[in-house]
Amino acid sequence: MRRGVYAGSFDPVTNGHLWMIEHGVRIFDEMIVAIGDNPDKSYTFSLAERLAMLRETTAHLPSLRVESFENSFLVNYAREQGAHFILRGIREAADYEFERKMRYVNADLAPHIDTVFLMPPREIAEVSSTMVKGLVGPAGWQGVVQQYVPEPVFNRFVALRAQM
């Protein structure tokens, strides 16, 4: 069985993440989307909310599991899950340089786990969770943000803004 792991903070999940996930499901027999939780990092959404948004967004993908992990290198988590592949996205040159280095470190730690790189299409390649969060607030933000995130995420942003 070809099992892959795609990990990130997903704060929040974007259409770019969803593109990666849907393509990963086509490549692997089973795929795990794992939220890495870093207690030193400040998140807009709690771990429970991020897990819920990912599960809602990917409910149409039966060969997918959504989980979380903490205090572990991704490659070690992948090994614990019996995965032989780590899926990573490359949007720009800086991503490539970082991911290339991590691939070699991961190979030192677990030579039997391969890293697979995908490049999202141009129209979503520049969209990041940080960028999306920065668009929320000014007049008309809903029309802009809605095109970059899945519906469950957009609905959470609307609810979050309503509470403010």
The catalytic residues are 17, 41, 91, 129
Question: How far apart are the C-alpha atoms of 136 and 23, rounded to whole Å?
Answer: 28
CA distance 82 to 3: 7
